[in-house]
Amino acid sequence: MVDVKKIGTEQRNEKTKDIDIASTGEILKLINDEDKTVAFAVEKALTQISALVDQIVTQLKKGGRMIYMGAGTSGRIGVMDAAEVPPTFSVDPSVVQCLIAGGDWAMNHAVEGAEDSKELAYEALEKVKLNADDVVIGITASGRTPYSVGGIEYANKLGCVTGCITTSPNSEIASKVKYPIEAITGAEPITGSTRMKSGTAQKLICNMLTTATMIKLGKVYQNFMVDVQATNEKLIKRSQNIIVEATGVSFAEAAEAIEKFGSVKKALFAIITGTENQKIIDESLEATSGHLRKAIEKVKNE
């Protein structure tokens, strides 16, 4: 039997006890005041987040994958973060993925009992052929969701790097992973509604994990997403603008360079280094595992 009184995210918020009789403006102010505390809770976990990022980078360089596991709101946040990585950084969808209790149906519907099944977690990880090079990250506000905990237990048996994102102190899942992230957000404005502050903290942390990982893997030059997939008009214009901003050439010249060299990253390398030879461009980027700044510095120092 679960004792919810012992779960941090199930505590009652003293500041919002009269939220049901507050005016609309007062309700929004109470929620906003609580939201303001979330970033500070995440800040306290930055050392933990950093440690996990470094491990993810190491494993992805080995060919491993980053796999979130969660149920309900936590799972949906993981799915959302994983879905944004391929178009932003041009990586295969398998590299960052999320297994949500109840499967794809659970993205838009409540799947009763799914989050309470460790067996479903085992089956999901078997289906994606989990291996020791992968990183498994359980996302659970309470820190005790059986689906997420079960996934971690399975991953530990295979020798995977394991981490968690939880917003409750002294949680079960944090005790089982190698790299816990504990952003203690405290009582929710509506008691137990972890889609609120807890969900916000989880979203911030997922953003940090994937973004910092992709930066470390060379998917960003300065602060530009140089591996962006130009799949619509907005992204085509963004691709051109990246080159204009980074080099000072015109939009026409940027468009021509992308067409000629096949990608934003290669076009930038060519313009910045003055290199027109496609073979040299390819070899230079390959030598630095696609890290544009390192490839440019390497050429300039030769």
| pLDDT tens string 102-146 | 888 778 777 666 777 899 999 999 999 999 999 999 999 999 999
Mean per-residue pLDDT for 260-267? 94
Collapsed DSSP state (helix, strand, coil) of residue 140: coil
pLDDT at position 113: 67
Task: Name the nearest CA neighbour of 139 among 156, 119, 164.
Answer: 164
Mean per-residue pLDDT for 7-26? 90
- Please identify which of the residues 10, 115, 153, 188 carries the catalytic annotation: 115
pLDDT at position 272: 95
Which long-range contacts does 95-98 make (Cβ < 8 Å, 24+ apart)?
Answer: 95/60, 95/65, 95/66, 96/65, 96/66, 96/68, 96/210, 97/65, 97/66, 97/67, 97/68, 97/128, 98/67, 98/68, 98/69, 98/70
| Phi, psi at 210, each rounded to 5° | -75, -40
pTM > 0.85: yes
Model confidence at 5: pLDDT above 70: no
Mean per-residue pLDDT for 228-240? 89
84 is known as an active-site residue = yes
> How do residues 170-228 score in pLDDT, each as one tens digit?
999 999 999 999 999 999 999 999 999 999 999 999 999 999 999 999 999 999 999 98
Model confidence at 1: pLDDT above 60: no
pLDDT at position 115: 78
pLDDT at position 230: 82
Please report the domains of the chain, with CATH numbers, ordered by start residue: 4-216 (3.40.50.10490), 233-301 (1.10.8.1080)
| Contact of 230 with 188, CB cutoff 8 Å | no
Model confidence at 48: pLDDT above 90: yes
Tell me what the pLDDT averaged over the chain comes to: 93
pLDDT at position 103: 83
Collapsed DSSP state (helix, strand, coil) of residue 184: coil
pLDDT at position 9: 80
Mean per-residue pLDDT for 75-102? 95
Model confidence at 242: pLDDT above 90: yes
Model confidence at 302: pLDDT above 90: no
Helices of type H across the chain? 24-35, 38-43, 46-61, 72-89, 118-127, 146-158, 172-176, 197-216, 233-247, 251-261, 264-273, 278-287, 292-301
Mean per-residue pLDDT for 154-175? 97
Tokens of 271: 């313009």
Model confidence at 2: pLDDT above 60: no
119 is known as an active-site residue = no
